[in-house]
Amino acid sequence: MADDPFALFATWFAEAQASEPNDPDAMALATSTPDGRPSVRMVLMRLHDPKGFGFFTNLQSRKGEEIAANAHAALCIHWKSLRKQVRAEGVLEPVTAAEADDYFASRSRNSRIGAWASDQSRPLDDRQTFLDRIDEAKARFGEGEVPRPPHWSGFRLVPDRIEYWEDGEFRLHHRRLFTRQPDGSWSEGLLYP
């Protein structure tokens, strides 16, 4: 048994980066409306540290609005090639402006332009409308820097539960559950498969 779930995650993630053929940082993120209607989508985990698991998005998107209304969320990272998954539940907290700026600056220029052009999750009358908005954003910024839009930032899921699941023959899986204690430490136990 380990007492640091984030150290275990770092080990598993390094293994996934070396062997998972596509997007080892892909995770299913589940949010919900204030009245409990869930929605789930794949996002890319762009940071992980002892505070939690982070991703970036348009704050005016459906997920952004759901997070603003109800910050409780869950995520699942499944590495099919490793036959392992990590599930976490907790509260989403905004990343710092510096973290958002740093990640935004690391994105390709076209992705940064797209963040300005897209009204993510809103109805789109015609694909050409979006392409025109991309052209307008390219003209606006020219060859200069493309700053982070005010409506674009990120969140970090600060978990209170993290489950590590490993596939077992005959569905005799190995499940380890870390639960955050009131003092911030972690307790660990096993779950039946």
* Residues taking part in catalysis: 171
Structure tokens at 136: 């307008």
What are the distances in angstroms from CA 88 to CA 70, 111, 122, 173? 16, 28, 28, 18
What are the distances in angstroms from CA 155 to CA 14, 57, 107, 190? 22, 8, 17, 29
Nearest to 12 by CA among 27, 26, 24: 24
At residue 170, what are phi and psi to the nearest 5 degrees?
A: 60, 30
Length of the chain: 193
